Amino acid sequence: SYGSALHVALPQPLRAGQLLTLEIDYEAGEGPGVCWLAPEQTAGRQKPYMYTQGQAVLNRSFFPGFDTPSVKCTYSATVKVPEGFTAVMSATSWEKQEDNTFVFKMSQPIPSYLIALAVGDIVSADVGPRSRVWAEPCLIEAAKKEYDGVIEEFLAVGEKLFGPYVWGRYDILFMPPSFPFGGMENPCLTFVTPCLLAGDRSLVDVIIHEISHSWFGNLVTNATWGEFWLNEGFTMYAQRRISTEVYGSAYTCLEAATGRALLRQHMDNTGEDHPLNKLRVVIEPGFSLFLGVNPDDTYNETPYEKGYCFVSYLAHLVGDQSKFDAFLQAYVNQFKFQSITADDALGFFLEYFPELKEKGVDSIPGFEFDRWLNTPGWPPYLPDLSPGEQLMKPADELAELWAADSLNTEAIEAVDITAWRTYQLVYFLDQVLQKSPLPEGNVERLSKMYPKISEAQNAELRLRWCQIVLKNNLEAEYSKVKDFLHSQGKQKYTLPLYRAMWGGSESARALAMETFSATAPQLHVNVQNYVKKILGLE
């Protein structure tokens, strides 16, 4: 699944720094990095679609190249597509020529995994001075409505915090429903799941995450996939900095608490001392941190949330937010367009703050940088999320009320959840799920009382409601699980529901089999394989 090396014999030896042109004639299309969708896997269901997904090591099946994040280059491409189709790429310039040929150039050096192409029946609409949304015609209105004006606000805050946005445009491509990820931060053109079109702008934090990659990941890149936390931990930190500026610290802390709960869940599932639960992962040849290479290993919260805790710990050592913000800007400036190791990043941190280096902050017992990187387990330091408590406390109390043997209807009715924002509801549902199965009859009543939750169209709420339905074996609402799995194929939503069904009653298992046989053709091949594994169909 890794492909094989292409060895090229040169006619005569070259000297260092000499320029050469190498032309390789090749054909591609069947590999794991190139996804071909039948019309029924798209939103419009009329025309086929194709897209590439390079991260981590899949672009080698799309074009021959140095497929490692340690090498960066510019690229250009000429793409000819059939009549009625449009091609888009992660490039700084895009030009349509006659006979349906598109010409792309990326003028900034990027690692191979960020080169991306999509071809389909897609149209665009402007949503800001340097942003447009791309989508199938049936989704374009919803996309424009959801994102009009918001992207520029996030970009401007990002620039204020982390320095200039160097990629020119920031466009978003809403992918077909079978796209397995929340987002993929391809430069100039982020690919995102259509699940983000919640209709109420409640899931825009995913876009803030992808925008944050414009500095952390795309501009300063991990040199090896074993130190993926350099991309994701810094990006989570940056995302929450932008979110704090835009939405305030209470809401951001609540979102971070949801992230912490996912890390807890992940570590409970794998065991804390699992080798994947450290920030520096030794990648054996033949093993990758990512999808598609070794399906045994699934998506993992550690580089994201434990990485976020480590970056937060560095900020805590500095003790002054504006000083740490200035450091982040200097870090981006120091390493822009380069690929670095954790040692480079931490070495720069200590050089930038000589007084901390003097104090030996890299070896405080229990919090050693080496321990952060090389010891699996729960983060030694957790950032303070108490500003979120004003939003968490009412949610905790309400969940307690619903878990009681005899319901205190009066107390429940006194709590008005109509003004609660998505993450407050998500947090509430996470608490209800932890307390499930609830006493007899409580879930049915909860469902009736809060149609805002049980009838939600928001994917994050639907996921949790489906998990609650399964944990409480509420057969009357099994159809909601089925509908949700029919409507999208995002890995983060699909796998937990199949795990819950397979761990549930006979009828839940039957639901899993029935749903999978109906939806398998519309799922990404990696997600299909993961589900087969869960259902023991391998």
pLDDT tens-digit map of 280-294:
987 765 454 444 344
pLDDT surpassing 90 at residue 508: yes
- Where are the domain boundaries for CATH 1.10.390.10 in the chain? 220-374
Omega within 30 of 0 (cis) for the link into 56: yes
Residues of each domain in the chain carrying CATH 3.30.2010.30 = 34-214
Is 321 assigned a ligand-binding role in the annotation?
no
pLDDT of residue 285: 54
pLDDT, residue 373, reads 98
| Residue 210 annotated as catalytic | yes
| From 170, 251, 304, 423, active-site residue | 304
pLDDT of residue 324: 98
From the list 146, 210, 227, 305, the catalytic residue is 210
- Residue range(s) in the chain whose domain bears CATH number 1.25.40.320: 391-535
Q: For 426-463, b where at least 16 C-beta lie within 10 A, e where not — what string?
A: bbbbbbbbebbebeeebbeebbebbeebbebebbbbbb
Pick the more confident residue, 162 or 524.
162
Tens-place pLDDT, residues 68-87: 999 999 999 999 999 999 99
CATH (residue range 220-374): 1.10.390.10
Q: What values do phi and psi take at 199, rounded to 5?
A: 90, -5
Note the pLDDT tens digit of each residue in 302-361: 999 999 999 999 999 999 999 999 999 999 999 999 999 999 999 999 999 999 999 999
Residue 355, marked binder: no
Regarding the domain delimited by 391-535, which CATH topology (the fold level of the hierarchy) does it fall under? 1.25.40
Cα separation of 438 and 432, whole Å?
8
443 pLDDT more than 50: yes
Show the tokens assigned to 493. 């939503």
pLDDT in tens, 316-331: 999 999 999 999 999 9
Token pair for residue 473?
């074996």
Task: Consult the annotation and say whether 491 binds a ligand.
Answer: yes
What amino acid is encoded at 333 in this protein?
A: N
At 299, the pLDDT band (50, 70, 90 cuts) reads low
Whether residue 209 is annotated as binding a ligand: the answer is yes
Residue 40's pLDDT is 85
- The residues, any chain, with a CB within 8 Å of residue 360's CB and separated by 6 or more, are none
> What is the fold of 34-214?
Zincin-like (3.30.2010)
* 304 catalytically annotated: yes
521 is in an annotated binding site: no
Is residue 48's pLDDT more than 80? yes
pTM of the model: 0.94
- Tell me whether residue 180 is annotated as binding: yes
